[in-house]
Structure formats: C-alpha cells, structure tokens
Amino acid sequence: MKVIYLDNNATTRVSDEVKEVMLPYICDLYGNPSSMHSFGGQVHRHIEVAREQVASLINAEPEEIIFTSCGTESNNTAIMSALDSQPEKKRIVTSRVEHPAILGFCKAMYRKGYKISFVPVDKQGRLNIEELKASITDDTAIVSIMYANNESGVVFPLAEIADIVKPRGVLMHSDAVQAAGKLPLDVKKLPVDMMSLSGHKMHAPKGIGVLYIKRGTRFSPYIIGGHQESGKRAGTENVAAIVGFGKAAELTREHVLHKETKVEELRNRLEEGLLKTCPGAKVNGDTEHRLPNTLNISFEYVEGEAILLRMNEYNICASSGSACSSGSLEPSHVLRAMGVPFTSIHGSIRFSLSRYSTDDDIDFVLEIIPGIIKELRTLSPYVKES
C-alpha cells in the first residue's frame, strides 16, 4: 500500500536529485577534504560549492556558513558560543515553545548556574512581544527565538524581534529549522547574528546541519579539534551529506522563491475538508502567520494516539500532540503553553505536507479520517454523538 506521508515536520524524504549528487561521495570520492593531494582537494572544492548554495538560500556570504552534524548541534553551538564569549553575561532569553534542542540545552545551562527567561505565547501561539522586551536585561548573553514552530506551524515576526533585541546590544539567534524550505529566508532582512538549519527538514539527509554566523560575530567553537570549517567546527566533514545539503538548498530556493509548489493550497483543502466533515474539530495556532505546510488540528474527546494507530492501518503518517518525540505520553509543551485545553491536546494531530504531497494524498485522507473520528467518538466515554 502506498505511504501517504504527511509528517514532513518530523523529517522529509531525500530528493532524487539530492541522492544523485551524494552517491559519488559515499564510495568513489572518499578523499579527506583536508588532504594535500588532489584526490582530497577535489572533495574540498565540492564542500565549498555546497557552502555557496546554502549561503545563497539565505542571502548570506559563504564564509558565514558552517556545517554541523544537525539542527540540535547548531542550536547548542549558538547558545554556548554566546555564553563562552561573554563570560560576564549570565542570562539566556528564549520562548516557552522552542524545540527541545533549545529548551533542553537551556535547562542544562540553568543547572550550571545560568539564568533563563522563557517568554510566553498567547492562545494563538503568538509570542508575547512585551514580555520579550521586559526579559532582556543587562546580563543577557543571547536571545534565541525560533522562526517557525514545529508543532503549531506559527511563524514569529523575526525581523520585528531582531529590531527589539539588536539595539540592546544583545546577540540574537534563531532556530529556523522549520522555516527553511517553507518560507523565504534572507539574513539581510532578518538581522540575526546566528541562525540554525537542518538538512533532513528540507529533503537532504539526516545528520547534517548548518549554523549561519554573521560576519564579525564573536564566536567560540563548541566542537574543538582540527581546523575544519575555518576552525569554527572541528571534525572531518560529512562530505556526502554536505554536498546533498547544498543541492537541497538549491532546489528549495527554486521551489520557495518561485512558489513552484501547491503545498499551501493542499494544506488549506485538507483543513477545510476536516473542519467540514469532523464535528468539533478545531485548528490550533494563528492561521494568519503559519507555515504553508502545517495543520495542527484537535478532535476533541478522541485520543490522538488512537487516531494515529487507525491512520497507520491505511499507511497515513502524521504526528500527535500528546506524545512527545521520546515516546512518552506527556502532552505537547507547545499546546500547553498556548493554553489549549487538555481534552483538545490529547486529540490533536499535526499534518505536515511537502512539495511531494499530492491531490490524491489529500483526497484519500479526507475520505478516511471522518470515519475514524466518528468511530472513535462512539467509543469515547465522554461523548455520545447523535
């Protein structure tokens, strides 16, 4: 049975074009890019091409791009660098709805004696800008605010946020892992000092990330060893993945900038169809400022896990808001921060599309889900539908 993959905020399929450019670096072109001989040297040149391709995606300079092992490493590196390079400053300002790659790291820093301010969001998942302003103190080393939320899809006004942070002389980082490939990204218009990207959210492989570091930003490396990545990130490069990321960046640029995708139209059709056919369904998050591919929807009084399991029987892949990535049944910290009632959190499903999603995928989901919800509602101890 065909897989209907609507879980692209979790990970994406590697594009065929990306796979093609990667293959030679897995077997044939295995030279070490740091070697003096030309067998290694040619590999080095391809890393630099990939750096240019990624830089061009976000309108940065190639020397402002470093390759890391993943989005998590990029996020950890940005914060650690800010703390290390400004030892007199002890505070991190972030939001309550960041990915664990930021929240978990901040909590670890808290245990080491740093102070953390978690800026709240409102019921629509929008950042409280007044609280953000009030959180920035003289001892703030860095403000780290995501561009787009992985669960709700809500997009934060990053340019406005940077305009608040930068005049205070504070470093600004953004986790743009979910924004890349879905929104145009231009670091000349978004005046952040550092920005994280991840390959596997934009049709490159897993295990490759990028950290943009604006020229002139004080930087302290997190992974220390050899001289790779201009001394900013040690470790022999994951060449195949880097080359793949470069290609994915080039393809993404074409799709996002030239709007060569109907992902938003498909997402809207899915949303309208589910709202029409499933009584009591509610969309979570600000629908005006939202990633074009994401729909977070609650089916009250139905367990998200039960919906996913039933969907799984039809090979439909999505995520639920009641199980976090660790597999525990903790309700989503994002939906909790938004004040979504527990009955809705437990029945929430995140559908996330990609440029490979098709009309047939959406038709199939709209055919299957209403029946699943109806059936599960009849089993719910809380609800009796007429």
Among 6, 50, 70, 302, the residue binding ligand PLP under the rule CB under 6 A is: 70
Q: What contacts 256, CB < 8 A, 6 or more positions away?
A: 181, 182, 183, 184
Nearer to ligand PLP, 73 or 193 (CB): 73
Question: What is the footprint of ligand PLP within residues 188-207 (CB under 6 A)?
Answer: 198, 200
Residue placing its CB nearer to ligand PLP in the complex, 202 or 270: 202
72 binds ligand PLP (CB under 6 A): yes
Query: Which is nearer to ligand PLP, 177 or 213 (by Cβ)?
Result: 177
Distances (CA, A) of 311 to 220, 270, 366: 46, 15, 11
Q: Count other Cβ atoms within 10 Å, centred on residue 122.
A: 12
Contact 63, 211 (CB under 8 A): no
Considering only 52-60, 66-74, 89-97, 185-193, which stretch makes contact with ligand PLP by CB under 6 A? Answer: 66-74
Nearer to ligand PLP, 100 or 280 (CB): 100
In sequence order, what DSSP letters do the residues of 14-47 get, joined into one string?
Answer: PPHHHHHHHHHHHTT----TT-SSHHHHHHHHHH
The answer to the question of residue 178 lying near ligand PLP (CB under 6 A) is: yes
Alpha carbons 177 and 207: distance in angstroms, whole number: 13
In whole angstroms, how close is the CB of 293 to ligand PLP at the nearest point? 13
> What amino acid is encoded at 189 in this protein?
K
Whether 317 is catalytic is no
Question: Which of 89, 91, 99, 267 lies at the binding interface for ligand PLP (CB under 6 A)?
Answer: 99
Q: Which residues, numbered 146-165, are part of the site for ligand PLP (CB under 6 A)?
A: 146, 150
Rule CB under 6 A: is residue 209 a binding residue for ligand PLP? yes
Q: Which residue number is nearest to ligand PLP in terms of Cβ?
A: 71
With CB under 6 A as the contact rule, the residue among 7, 64, 175, 361 that binds ligand PLP is 175
Residues 6+ apart with CB under 8 A from 338: 97, 121, 122, 123, 124, 125, 152, 284, 285
| Residue 227: both structure tokens together | 């001289």
Interface with ligand PLP by CB under 6 A: which residues? 70-72, 75, 99, 101, 146, 150, 175, 177-178, 198, 200, 209
Residues with active-site annotation: 324
